[in-house]
């Protein structure tokens, strides 16, 4: 596993995006209603909107090559998951999938995997 992303909970996503993009100069890669992703070298910074007055903060995300196999391997070692593997974002060259868990101290962790979207039937007919 390699470090892929650090997540920060923010109450005001618009102000946070302005700070990280306009003041720190980070490249905003993707934005949705509740999340913004920034490029930070080989790692990403994810800002996630929360309504909590005292939000849990800083989640560490690890890149894995095979999300389903990694989840099953950890589950076999007794690791429970807070959220099963699910699609979080679509990029031009891949779909981003994520599974969420916690360490022994309750810290939030994620396993991330980029998957190429399936080719459309039209594309396969053109080849």
Return d(Cα 51, Cα 79) in angstroms, integer.
28
* Distance in angstroms (rounded) separating the CA atoms of residues 93 and 113: 13
Q: Where are the domains of the chain?
A: 2-126
Length of the chain: 127
Instruction: Give buried/exposed letters for 68-84 (b at 16+ CB in 10 A, else e).
Output: eebbeebeeeeeeeeee
Pairing of strands 43-49, 2-10: parallel
Digits of tens for pLDDT over the chain (127 positions)?
888 888 888 888 998 899 889 887 889 999 999 999 999 888 898 998 988 777 666 777 888 999 999 999 889 988 899 999 999 989 888 999 999 988 765 778 889 999 987 766 554 444 3
Of 3.40.50.150, 3.40.50.300, 3.10.180.10, 3.90.180.10, which CATH number belongs to 2-126? 3.10.180.10
């Amino acid at each position: 596993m390699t470090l892929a992303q650090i997540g920060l909970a923010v109450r005001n996503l618009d102000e946070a995006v302005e700070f990280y993009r306009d003041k720190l100069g980070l490249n905003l890669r993707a934005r949705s209603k509740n999340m913004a992703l920034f490029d930070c070298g080989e790692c990403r910074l994810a800002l996630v909107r929360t309504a909590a007055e005292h939000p849990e903060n800083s989640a560490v995300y690890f890149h894995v090559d095979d999300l389903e196999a990694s989840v099953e391997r950890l589950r076999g070692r007794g690791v429970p998951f807070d959220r099963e593997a699910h699609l979080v974002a679509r990029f031009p060259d891949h779909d981003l999938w994520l599974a969420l868990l916690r360490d022994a101290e309750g810290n939030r962790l994620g396993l991330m995997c980029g998957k190429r979207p399936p080719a459309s039937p039209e594309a396969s007919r053109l080849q």
